[in-house]
A = this chain, B = another copy of it.
Amino acid sequence: MSETKKTNIILFSGDYDKAMAAYIIANGAAAYDHEVTIFHTFWGLNALRKDEPVPLKKGLLEKLFAKMMPRGANKLGLSKMNFAGFGPKMIKEVIKKHNAVPLPQLIEMAQEQEIKLVACMMTMDLLGLQKEELLEGIEFAGVAAYLADAEDGRVNMFI
């Protein structure tokens, strides 16, 4: 009846194209009055990184991960035809040409639409990411919180 519909997306992937798909679905669902959560885990956390480095104390492995992983939504590669960074350039070119919305703006839109952006604490820990390195307005939670949302979800997906 007048029950709120929920959409819950786990964003595991750190690819520009997959993250774009996730945020397009999420923004669409929010426009249709769904309560939407994107739960970022593993490489999906990289979409939430600030684009400039944040000076923090880290162990060696954590420094390595931080260096090797893309810093923020605009730096992500493609799941296909990445060609050492040429593929993402092409995609951004066609996004501009066709007046589509690039990923960083899709994330801003999601925040304006009050989509809940969650970062998985366990995998932040594994990859050595700290709260200060992620965008403002992110929530931090674990798999239990995700499941509590998802078990009443109408649209659940793992991307």
Contacts and interface: CB of A to CB of B under 8 A. Distances in A.
Interface of A: 5, 10, 12-14, 17-18, 21, 24-25, 28-29, 32, 34, 41-43, 59, 61-62, 64-65, 68-69, 79-81, 90-91, 93-95, 97-98, 100, 122, 125-128, 143-144, 146-147, 150-159
Contacts of A62: 94
B143 A43 contact: no
Nearest to A159: B158
A65 B80 CA distance: 12
Nearest to A90: B61
Given A32-B147, A68-B81, A144-B28, A91 B126 contact: yes
Contacts of A80: 14, 43
